[in-house]
Amino acid sequence: MKTKSKNRYNKDSPRIAIIGSGVCGLGIGWRLSQLGYRVDVFESEKIGKGATWAAAGMLAAGVECEPGEEKLLELTTKSQRMWPNFLKDIEKSTNINPHYRDEGTLVIAFNNDELSKLRFNYKFQSRLGIELEWLDKEEVRTLEPHLNSKTLDAVFSKNDHQVDNRFLLLALADAFKNSGGRIHEKHKVKSIKIEKERVKGIVIDSEFHKADIVLLAAGAHSSSIDGLPDSIIPPVRPVKGQMLALQMDINRPLIKHVIWTPNSYLVPRNDGRLIIGATIEESGFNSDITAGALYSLLESAWRTLPTIEELPVVETWCGFRPTSRDDAPILGPTEIEGLVLATGHHRNGILLAPLTADTISEYISTGNIPPEIEDYNIDRFLN
């Protein structure tokens, strides 16, 4: 059974409270305030210290698609195609540049085992219609001369781009505020108040904030807000990713493309930072940066680009991917009138930002569930 919208909201009256100031909360909030709604975003800490800040910003619908994710690919590809217009709209709403880069992504291999895996993924992804190009090692070296000379063939994905997620976050926050939205930092939402199957607002400390619509977009923390019936507590858990950044010479960056190696990815930024990620760990909200993780990320990056050896490490950090039980996002209404979910984006939060913002704001403003997200309702976990 699908949850159908119960009402068409009156544009002039509803008060919308959004829990979470990541790319989902701010993206949806921005779209809704552009439509003229009164929107308040509540954030337990400072804005953007969650998964959006920690991410690598890869918009990789193609090379990140794994067996079992064929259906999700429709969603991620659709959102990937929305990025250019999303950026144009951001540009009209703020002066903050999110540093989108469209050089594409290379997936590389160093030995025959890795080459077999690369070939398998190339065939699997190509069969799904992902546009990929097989490059021989000379072509790879021409594209990226600093790669280890042992690099073999590679796959080039011309549509998998990147954005600087931290600038994106600042841009969305500014765009949201410019369109009339309000952000409340250091406001930890304790519970969502529900009466007679209708949302009434949220409770922060002991203070009640009335709202007609509550959007739960709290990333990996989405399952820890009190007040929800068990059936609609989003089945979302934190999946930890440790990362680090090296500082390249800004005038002579070592790579131009995003590069996926068998054990890491490398993302070059406009300011010369080289982002290296990421572990995938099931350890709850443990935020330790471990020697083992740094060792393996650096070993993999060094194997790829031997000249990183001399570069300074400028940052280490970790984030918590909000991962649902089936690794797909949870989007849309719930059985509680006025309570809407946008969470569980796992590895695809930045990539899915335009689609999440547009579909959820469309649902809230019209009461109609856009077809793209019909299958991503929380109801799918009922059985």
Binder to ligand GLY among 18, 26, 28, 56 (CB under 6 A)?
56
Min dist. Cβ of residue 132 to ligand GLY (A):
18
Under rule CB under 6 A, residue 50 binds ligand GLY: no
* Under 8 Å between Cβ of 7 and 367: yes
Q: Taking phi first (over 0 means left), then psi (-120 to 50 degrees means alpha), and beta for anything else, what does residue 254 get?
A: alpha
Q: Which residues of 175-200 are buried (b: 16+ CB within 10 A; e: fewer)?
A: bbbebebebbeebebeebbbeeeebb
The residue nearest ligand GLY at its CB is 347
- Chain positions 108 to 167 lying near ligand GLY, rule: CB under 6 A, are none
Q: Which is nearer to ligand GLY, 39 or 56 (CB)?
A: 56
Task: Name the phi and psi angles at 312, rounded to 5.
Answer: -75, 140
- Chain positions 322 to 361 lying near ligand GLY, rule: CB under 6 A, are 347
Min dist. Cβ of residue 327 to ligand GLY (A):
11
Tally DSSP H helices, then E strands, for the chain: 8, 19
Rounded-to-integer distance, Cα 27 and Cα 47, Å: 13
Binder to ligand GLY among 27, 181, 277, 344 (CB under 6 A)?
277
- Chain positions 67 to 106 lying near ligand GLY, rule: CB under 6 A, are none
Min dist. Cβ of residue 304 to ligand GLY (A):
16
Min dist. Cβ of residue 66 to ligand GLY (A):
12
Min dist. Cβ of residue 278 to ligand GLY (A):
4
Under rule CB under 6 A, residue 241 binds ligand GLY: yes
* Under 8 Å between Cβ of 156 and 105: yes
Q: Which is nearer to ligand GLY, 161 or 347 (CB)?
A: 347
Q: Which is nearer to ligand GLY, 58 or 168 (CB)?
A: 58
Q: Which is nearer to ligand GLY, 18 or 24 (CB)?
A: 24
Binder to ligand GLY among 31, 257, 321, 345 (CB under 6 A)?
321
Identity of the residue numbered 321: R
Binder to ligand GLY among 28, 218, 278, 297 (CB under 6 A)?
278
Min dist. Cβ of residue 281 to ligand GLY (A):
11
Min dist. Cβ of residue 275 to ligand GLY (A):
10
Rounded-to-integer distance, Cα 357 and Cα 26, Å: 8
Q: Which is nearer to ligand GLY, 18 or 330 (CB)?
A: 330
Min dist. Cβ of residue 347 to ligand GLY (A):
3
Q: Which is nearer to ligand GLY, 221 or 321 (CB)?
A: 321
Tokens 């059936």 appear where? 231
- Token pair belonging to 83: 């990025």
Min dist. Cβ of residue 301 to ligand GLY (A):
14
Min dist. Cβ of residue 232 to ligand GLY (A):
26
CA distances from 371 to 29, 321, 351, 376, 377 (A): 21, 26, 19, 10, 11
Q: How many residues bind ligand GLY (CB under 6 A)?
A: 7
* Under 8 Å between Cβ of 227 and 334: no
Q: Which is nearer to ligand GLY, 257 or 347 (CB)?
A: 347
Q: Which residues pair with 41 in a beta bridge?
A: 18, 183
Under rule CB under 6 A, residue 58 binds ligand GLY: yes
* Under 8 Å between Cβ of 104 and 117: no
In terms of DSSP H, where are the helices of the chain? 23-34, 51-54, 70-93, 112-127, 137-143, 165-178, 291-304, 353-366
Residues near 44 by beta carbon (within 8 Å), at least 6 away in sequence: 186, 187, 188, 189, 221
Task: Name the phi and psi angles at 259, rounded to 5.
Answer: -125, 125
* Under 8 Å between Cβ of 276 and 264: yes
What mask, x for binding ligand GLY by CB under 6 A, covers residues 242 to 271?
------------------------------
Which residues form the interface with ligand GLY (CB under 6 A)? 56, 58, 241, 277-278, 321, 347
